[in-house]
Amino acid sequence: MSRVTTRVNPYVSLDAYDPEAELMLLHFGPQHPSTHGVFRMDLFLDGELIVKAVPYCGYLHRAVEKLCEQLAYVQLTPIVDKNDYVAPMTNEQALNLAFEQLLKLEVPRRARWMRTLFAELQRIASHLLWLGTFTLDLGGALGGGSSLFLHCFRERELILDLFEEVTGARFHYNTHTLGGNRHDLPAGFAPKVKAALDQIAARVPEYEAMSLGNRIFAERTKGVGVLDAGLALELGVSGPALRACGVDHDLRRDAPFHAYDEVKVKVVTATGGDCFARAAVRFGELEESIRLVREMIDGIPSGPINGGKPVKLPVQTKIPPGQIYAAIETPRGELGTYLIADGTQFPYRLKIRPPSLHNLSALPYILPGQTVSDAVAILGSLDPIMGEVDR
């Protein structure tokens, strides 16, 4: 740590601070358990109070977008799997959706239902992991924080077991491809899904009581890290972080993709825009995703799982010249793929729009005025995944 006297802060008024006081510069991260990966913030402190926050990302940069421009279209799915490593299924879907739209390739109805089913199962797994890590961030004083962390991981394993049934992998699946899916649902899959959902749904009220219903949790999150709707929209914040500001926006309903035009989503919102509201929205989405999967599992239509034409050398698949932007609603918000094609089997330009990056852009605005311990709660409430931030 070092001491500085500079008070330049474009985000908040400094009238409340003693102009003669020195500010301490605290490097929060990049190697810190609460940064959820390699991420750094420079916090300018007046005692425990944050006066200014400067975030720094890029520690996990892998040049994914440039790598994608060197590979054939059908080779890209396993590359983006590792961006949002908490929700790999959604990375695959956002990528292939852009390719299919530019190809004007129709995805079979069964494949679209399967993609929707997988997206909601992935949302359940992602929100469970977030809840476990968030309560761990808040510390042992929460009472059972570490227990809830282990319990959430236990329930998340049930979802990973289901994905393994379909793809043979528990994490980076490489199951979505041009025109549909690689793997069909195995026999007896529906009863296993229902059994897993029954177990998870039975425990959600318990987890809600241990967090939202916990007095210490409420005191650590209510009124902390308040983000107003106007600023959130200006920054491009999306997902639960946006809906916690009272903005009723969800791409699953407002710009339907996959089978969301057939399966109606009840959008969960909250008011307050603070850490507590963001947690409440994710609990609501957890319950809504359980409802959607239960509704869908017995109604998946029959038919083919891929609408693409089989070719001898799939690496020769070419996309005609043009450009497209396709986006889906992931557990963290709007994940988009901007593609410029030049008629070859390689993308001319591929740009990924990661929701975590936009959500983190709110930190310099909502951290000043909070304490150092609040910074941990605020960062965790945004649920960032650094793999998709840095790419």
For residues 159 and 220, state if they share a domain. Answer: yes
Domain shared by 73 and 47, yes or no: no
Please give the single-letter amino acid code of residue 344.
T
68 and 39 within one domain = no
Res. 217 pLDDT band, cuts 50 70 90: confident
* Residue 47 and residue 130 share a domain: no
Closest CA to 113 of 284, 321, 263: 263
* 26, 76: one domain: no
Q: Specify the 3-state DSSP secondary structure of 272.
A: coil
18-44 residue pLDDT tens: 554 678 888 887 877 767 778 888 999
- The verdict on 267 and 330 lying in the same domain is yes
- Helix 109-138, helix 145-167: angle, nearest 10: 160
Domain boundary among 16, 40, 56: 56
pLDDT in tens, 258-309: 989 999 999 999 998 999 999 999 999 999 999 999 999 988 898 888 876 5
> Are 145 and 294 found together in one domain?
yes
Is residue 6 over pLDDT 70? no
Residue whose pair of structure tokens reads 């001491």 in the numeric block: 3
Burial class (CB in 10 A: 0-12, 13-18, 19+), 299: exposed
81 and 19 in a common domain: no
**Neighbour-count burial of 69, counting CB atoms closer than 10 A to its CB (0-12 exposed, 13-18 middle, 19+ buried):** middle
Token pair belonging to 132: 């476990």
Total tally of structural domains belonging to the chain: 2
Domain hosting 123: range is 64-390
Separation between Cα atoms, residue 123 and residue 110, nearest integer Å: 20
Report whether pLDDT(12) > 50.
no
Q: Does a cis peptide bond (omega within 30 degrees of 0) precede residue 108? A: no
Indicate if 151 and 35 belong to the same structural domain: no
Instruction: State whether 99 and 163 are in the same domain.
Output: yes
362 in the same domain as 215: yes
Give yes or no: residues 257 and 368 share one domain.
yes
**pLDDT tens-digit readout, 69-117:** 888 888 888 888 888 888 888 888 888 999 988 988 888 999 999 999 9
Cβ burial of 312 (10 Å; 0-12, 13-18, 19+) is exposed
Task: Give 312's pLDDT tier (boundaries 50, 70, 90).
Answer: very low
Record the tokens describing residue 247, joined without a space: 């903005």
Helices (H), the chain: 64-68, 77-80, 88-103, 109-138, 145-167, 189-210, 215-221, 229-235, 240-243, 251-254, 275-297, 355-360, 363-366, 372-381, 386-390
Which CATH number is 170's domain given?
1.10.645.10
